[in-house]
Chain A
């Protein structure tokens, strides 16, 4: 195809950009330092896939996928309005809640585009209900594993992965929320190592994994230090905004903490505050908390920090007590926010989990029973994020969240001081 290289001027959020006519908006914007996030977009696929809808922009007041917009003289596009930013974030959040995205477990963590967009957009508060769908992992293909829990149905692999003789390898099956990417095993076996490796690379999440070497460069985490939009000066500017330091003098506040269905890792992280801890105890007293070993509330508290989700009736009872006794409740860490590792049982029946744990384990014999006694906590049908049980006021993502991150949030809650969490401290794992 012959390109007419006619130059045109388009206007993105009031900013003029000169580019060749017919160029994709996403490319033009990127080249001019405006990052329009997208998950399904490939610059060479035409027409674009247009499935993820993260790149939605407004042209002449009409909403449209940014990947579909081609540069034309006089084109005016709205990209970064508060409304569009919120919608974009909502679509990313929808993807997180319709699948099972447990970042600490995922091979792609640190390189995952979905996760990177979560960081980019500051996804810290769960808006939609986690659905914990029952999905499977397909080990049958020759080169790859299909980790369907993490699939976001972007269709990249369906449209992009072919054998040497041009046969597709991946297909969509089913419809609606049941839509699943199925593998043609015969063709998949014919992929070369490089082709299979590329399939893993183009998967924006951790669904397509190579059996042989999933982690090609251990420790390499592409999006850890720099946001996916790193080229955008606008975003860098916000990131570089100065942090507010010391806090004004006020009366001591009372803090309570607890670990529900978690691993105490978040509490360890709190202890990692090191010297800040000394500052902190000048400002607060701890009431009910493992730090003090106070087991019952002895006074009403200003802040309750909750680690872990609810896996038993005891967790629920404790969480409700916290709600009754604390002005502000904070979910600290991934387990409190989305169930995280303990929620790995959420997409199988409780019966299967209990049998696996107590009846069929390596050390169980024929006398084994599922433990139950009036003094033992009862296990819930699934692990519930804390905000599904009580109202949670704030959320601190991470597994665990960094000590500094927790410190800053607490400081902010106590004194209302503004703060910024530096990009590299904002993590889901």
Chain B
């Protein structure tokens, strides 16, 4: 029987896990199993950067190249990996034992440089540690046995008993509470609480659930967005790691409220190491009769949850790309003709919520609306998880009340002589250390969770270049401004860094940023130039210092370099 397309990614993972890469035979076999054209399957494979079409080593190493990794020893660690494994970045060693690749942020920003080896986490890497790891792998120790345990560091939560998320959780308690309410009452409570989307979009959660509940159709879905790809954020990781049960119960609450039969957790491949834990909890919940069975106390409501593993694509954090990916396709963003609550997964009404949103929803039922809405500000109720990393004494997780000032935050985490603070990741907002009175809430800094702190000695242009290269690499390629515009911005930044740019180039950067932002199809392109724009606006002097005088010759053109090929060729001849 032909397999359903939505299981394509799973099937490709099975093949790749068996062989270490996807061979030509795999592609043929998968295509015929799914009744798809091999060209179609190649299209899916080549969209996701963790799918390998060439042998990628018995041990496949993905070293994180995000900015925090760069500032904490990336180059030395990369050199150590190349030295110890004999593999050059982007390839395998001659024996095919090790494959070494770079990847975007892997959600371990509080312990960089970090890498995944066969998707197991290795953190706080140093050349010495790399030496030890590779020696051990060579002598036959399994990566899982060597990997670092990821202990979550909860650095702060509201004092007293005010914490919403980071508090003890007794599995089953939310489901017990759920018995007292009809689906409409659940939605009413969520609406009353003022809970809004914690992925950074701030869409009112109760309204989303209501729209989905009212949408026509018997089959409905709850999708949990656990594709935490924004560089610098790791708060969803912490929730999945510390209290996966809370998420499962949040999903059941959502499912019950909207009348959905199935929930899917879209887990980014970078968090594969969390998969066994999640599957184990799912088993327990099924055994307890909370999932896959009718629940008599809930009007015989029946719900089940499965986990879909991603395969490496930042764009899949965008909800419609995520839905495409769930359907076994390339993760290209849809046009916003319909809300997913109308036409989502497989065209059926679907709620897509962030991990933190679903967890908070569960807590609202558990603790009551009143306790939740008392916290925060009138327009942003409750608490928010922040992942703080970079140049500070206490990196880790912070559960803050909405409305906290940036200054308080910097003090709390022990920021060391902060120069630049990147709120909500590269697509978010760059702020200077002077902006201490800015407030984290939906009215000011709409923070999705990522907070990266850079001390005053850090080079702004290294940061900007890293971000711009990230967006160029992660653009899905579907629309012109993002696909073709981001590389043009990257090129201008290179020019600035090489000291060949003029004031005219900076004004070009501003104009082109606006073009990319205003004309792109989805949030990726619409936010990609944010940081660059703000940097030009907030730190004009830093740009000024790098510029050369406008003259009538293009400083970028290097005659000697342009002739190098010819000289080599004719010299050899």
Q: Which residues of A contact B (CB under 8 A)?
A: 47-48, 50-54, 56, 63, 65, 68, 87, 90-91, 94-95, 97-98, 127-129, 131, 152-153, 155, 167-168, 171-179, 182-184, 186-187, 313, 316, 320, 323-324, 349-351, 354, 369-370, 372, 378-382, 384, 387-391
Per-residue contact bits, chain B 558-573, to A (CB 8 Å; 1 contact, 0 not): 0101111111011001
Name which of B481, B514, B520 has the most chain A CB atoms within 10 A of its CB. Answer: B481
Count of inter-chain pairs, beta carbons less than 8 A: 177
- B446-492 contacts to A (CB < 8 Å): 472-481, 483-485, 487-488, 491
Give the complex CA separation of A324 and B551 in angstroms. Answer: 11
B491 touches A47 (CB 8 A): no
If A90-B515, A171-B40, A187-B37 touch, whether A177 touches B477 (CB-CB below 8 Å) is yes
Q: Please report the C-alpha to C-alpha distance between residue A152 and residue B487 in the assembled complex, in whole angstroms.
A: 15
Cβ-defined contact, B562 with A381, below 8 A: yes
Q: How far is the CA of A183 from the CA of B40 in the complex (A)?
A: 9
What residues of chain A lie closer than 8 Å to B512, measured between beta carbons? 90, 128
Please tell me if the beta carbons of A351 and B565 are within 8 angstroms of each other in the complex: yes
Taking the nearest CB of chain B, how far is it from the CB of A371, in angstroms?
Answer: 8
- Does residue B266 face the partner (Cβ distance < 8 Å to A)? no
Query: Would you call A388 and B552 a contact (CB within 8 A)?
Result: no
Residue of A nearest to B336 (CB): A68
Instruction: Say whether A370 contacts B37, CB under 8 Å.
Output: no
Q: Which of A50, A183, A388 is in CB contact (< 8 Å) with B479?
A: A50
**Distance between Cα atoms of A372 and B484 in the complex (Å):** 38
Q: Is the CB of B480 within 8 A of A51?
A: yes
Report if B220 contacts A (CB, 8 A): no
Q: How large is the interface on B (under 10, 10 to 19, 20 to 34, 35 or more residues)?
A: 35 or more
Chain A residue nearest to B312 in the complex (CB): A175
Determine whether the beta carbon of A350 is less than 8 Å from that of B566.
Answer: yes
Task: Spot the interface stretch: B41-49, B107-115, B156-164, B194-202.
Answer: B41-49
B473: A residues at CB distance < 8 A: 176
Residue of B42, B43, B561 with most partner-chain A CB within 10 A: B43
**A152 cross-chain contacts in B, Cβ below 8 A:** 480
User: Residues of B contacting A372 with CB < 8 Å?
Assistant: 566, 570, 573
**Known contacts being A52-B479, A172-B330, A177-B484, is A184 close to B562, with CB within 8 Å?**
no
Seen from chain B, the residues whose Cβ lies within 8 Å of a Cβ on chain A are 37-40, 42-43, 46-47, 49, 313, 330, 332, 334-337, 472-481, 483-485, 487-488, 491, 508, 512, 514-515, 518-521, 551-554, 556-557, 559, 561-567, 569-570, 573
Q: Collect the chain A residues with CB atoms within 8 Å of residue B563's CB.
A: 313, 378-381
Closest 4 CB pairs of A and B: A179-B477, A372-B570, A94-B484, A98-B484
Interchain CB contact (< 8 A) of A51 among B472, B521, B573? B521
- Given A155-B478, A175-B46, A350-B566: A316 in contact with B573 (beta carbons within 8 A): no
C-alpha gap A104/B369 in the complex (Å): 69
Q: Is the CB of A53 within 8 A of B562?
A: no
Distance of A372 Cα from B572 Cα, bound (Å)? 11
Partner of A87, one of B330, B491, B519, B521: B519
Report chain A residues within 8 Å CB of B566.
350, 354, 372, 378-381
B476, A176: Cβ atoms under 8 Å? yes
- Is there an interface contact between B552 and A323, defined as CB atoms closer than 8 Å? yes
Among residues of B, the one whose C-beta sits closest to the C-beta of A371 is: B570
Closest B residue, CB atoms, query A379: B566
Contacts of B553 in A (CB 8 A): 320, 323, 389-391
* Residues of chain B lying within 8 A (CB to CB) of residue A323: 552-553
